[in-house]
Amino acid sequence: MPRLTRGPLRKTIAASRRRSPARQNDRRGVCFLDREGSQPRLTEFCSINCWVSEEKPLVSATTKGAHMTNELDTSSWESARLIPISGMRNAEEQERRATSALLAVLSSVEEFGLAFAKPYGAMKGQFDTYIETIFELGDGRRVRPDGLIHTSRGKRSWTALVEVKTGSNELNCEQIEAYLDLAKEQGFDCVITISNQIARIPGEHPVEVDKRKLKKAALHHLSWSRVLTEAVLQKSHRGVADPDQAWILGELIRYLEHPNAGAVDFRDMGEHWVGVRDAVKHGTLRHSDKKAVEVAGKWEELMSFAVLRLGRHLGTDVQEVLTVKERKDLSIRIANIVDAMATRGLMPGGIRIPNTVGDIALKADVRAQQIVVSVSIDAPRTGRTTTRINLAFAPVEDKCTQHSPRQLGSAVQIIHVGSACQCTEPAVSSDSAR
């Protein structure tokens, strides 16, 4: 057992004030001694004495507080987060926090920043982000965009103004046009708006602005659902090289998924849905009904949201199936939906998933209260008719045997056999869904 000698405590080390088992009446502490040969050497002293060992320093035992920590139940406690949710008092503070969180992660996570800004012309490089930047236009107006993104590489640079809305707040046309004027005067590349408004057609902006203001600066829109989808795809499927940056991106995903963040997904079919639905059921809906046009627009928004959610789940670039004319002109797409509702009682849609056998066709049958999902596949072109049918549907039948009748209902229905065969999953009514 080491020999104990009496020695003073070093000033630079805080004493733990632990009582020694050998002498209960004395205060003890941790004492680390500089040694020269076999003798301890002390350079700074204080008046408190303690028992120390010549062979090794006396290390304090576990304190009472540490024992308490091990016994505490922390299951109901909220963990400390990089981007806190609590404490938001109003919509303005909600928007400011969402803007700051998004732009900070854009500049911190290289892969996510590039995936976010590259479609709008940004080059690879370090992103510098700012919030609530104040500018004065040539006519004296003062404008304050919610954020600004800047990057440069060599002699090239790219700058975008950012306008953010959260919750039910919608973008303002006058405000966006003011930012387009600012981008033109300052030579910025584009204006990016972010809100819960979902663009009905990819590339279209939910707010109509003066087309003349788009000659010098581009206007782009992202829904919060799209931002969340890009973040999930980057973290869970494409990958982030740096583990710390991956954790930071995960904190943004956690924040955006919280209801208090104001980044909500698709809400409902609008205030006119019930009236239009009843008119479709009774066969009294007219093509010129403005309420039907609004419901058709909501259906298109729902399709866009479904595409984003499915892509987020599968980790791939899922697209809505549209004709060339529909993609260029939103009014054509809306008119086609209204015509289908008035004549057939259907709301059609289509989803394209990369590397699959075919596009998914959706038909919401308003009269029957059913949603029919189908996929068309090419039938084999060799062999007899019976052989071709068997070869086409053998994989489908094998798949159906893996599920119970309660899950799939009746067998797969053969709609048409010819140059193409179509199989449809049995429609589920609203009553059975409940």
pLDDT at 59 over 80: no
Query: What is the tally of structural domains in the chain?
Result: 4
pLDDT tier at 217, thresholds 50, 70, 90: very high
- Domain presence at residue 80: no
Q: Assess whether 206 and 282 both reside in one domain.
A: no
- pLDDT, position 160: 95
Dihedral sign (CA 250, 255, 257, 263):
negative
- Domain presence at residue 85: no
Q: Assess whether 256 and 302 both reside in one domain.
A: no
Distance CA 366, CA 299 (A): 12
Last-in-domain residue among 311, 327, 359: 359
Q: Which range of residues forms the domain containing residue 152? A: 91-261
Tokens describing residue 16: 């733990």
Distances (CA, A) of 123 to 98, 116, 183, 212, 350: 24, 11, 18, 26, 33
- Domain presence at residue 213: yes
Distance CA 42, CA 54 (A): 12
- pLDDT, position 200: 65
Mean of the per-residue pLDDT values of the chain: 76
Q: Assess whether 251 and 164 both reside in one domain.
A: yes
Distance CA 366, CA 207 (A): 29
Q: How confident is the model over 315-370, as pLDDT tens digits?
A: 888 888 888 888 877 788 889 999 999 999 999 999 999 888 889 999 999 998 89
Q: How confident is the model over 1-49, as pLDDT tens digits?
A: 444 444 443 333 344 434 444 444 443 333 333 444 444 443 333 333 3
Distance CA 146, CA 134 (A): 9
- Domain presence at residue 302: yes
The burial class, CB within 10 Å (0-12 / 13-18 / 19+), for 29 is buried
pLDDT at 118 over 60: yes
Q: Assess whether 237 and 129 both reside in one domain.
A: yes
* Model confidence pTM above 0.75: no
State the number of CA atoms in the 13 A half-sphere of 78 facing the CB: 7
Q: Assess whether 63 and 203 both reside in one domain.
A: no
Q: Assess whether 115 and 255 both reside in one domain.
A: yes
Q: Assess whether 246 and 138 both reside in one domain.
A: yes
Q: How confident is the model over 267-315, as pLDDT tens digits?
A: 778 888 999 999 999 889 988 888 898 888 888 888 888 888 888 888 8
